[in-house]
């Protein structure tokens, strides 16, 4: 599976963006997916995850109520809708995937086998 993230950009505080992660290869509908981010000077951190069916999603506390992860398996694409963006959301956002399920509600980097190249999100204050 190869992943291609897109949709990043520069937005003002309170703005919105939708990130997309397009997957190539067969059986993406059998892969759990997630978004991580790496803020300046920080380690990569979990943002949101979704099961392969799209039936369950989980988020880090700081984005709950503002971010929504979704997927369209017919299009082999995972999305991250981000609203009410804050300067602390500024980061490079990465999509990730793994065959099957992730056996935790707080997944880490090692739980995913496939990674996209990252897309920059900058929120101006």
The edge-to-edge listing of strands for the beta sheet with 77-82 is 2-6, 17-24, 77-82, 67-72
User: What's the pLDDT at 106?
Assistant: 79
Question: Distance between CA 68 and CA 50 in Å, rounded?
Answer: 10
What Å distances lie between residue 69 and 20, 49, 91, CA to CA? 10, 7, 17
Question: Distance between CA 41 and CA 115 in Å, rounded?
Answer: 20
User: What's the pLDDT at 10?
Assistant: 98
Taking only the tens place, the pLDDT of each residue in 68-104 is 999 999 999 999 999 999 999 999 999 999 999 887 7
Three-state DSSP at 122 gives: strand
Three-state DSSP at 125 gives: coil
User: What's the pLDDT at 104?
Assistant: 73
Low-confidence stretches of the chain (pLDDT beneath 50): none
């Amino acid at each position: 599976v190869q992943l291609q993230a897109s949709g990043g950009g520069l937005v003002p505080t309170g703005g919105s963006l939708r990130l997309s992660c397009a997957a190539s290869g067969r059986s993406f509908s059998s892969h759990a997916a997630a978004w991580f981010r790496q803020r300046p000077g920080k380690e990569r951190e979990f943002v949101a995850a979704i099961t392969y069916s799209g039936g369950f999603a989980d988020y880090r506390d700081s984005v709950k109520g503002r971010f929504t992860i979704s997927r369209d398996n017919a299009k082999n694409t995972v999305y991250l809708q981000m609203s009410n963006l804050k300067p602390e959301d500024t980061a490079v956002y990465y999509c990730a995937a793994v065959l099957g399920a992730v056996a935790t509600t707080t997944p880490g980097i090692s739980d995913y086998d496939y990674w996209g190249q990252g897309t920059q999100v900058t929120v101006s204050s």
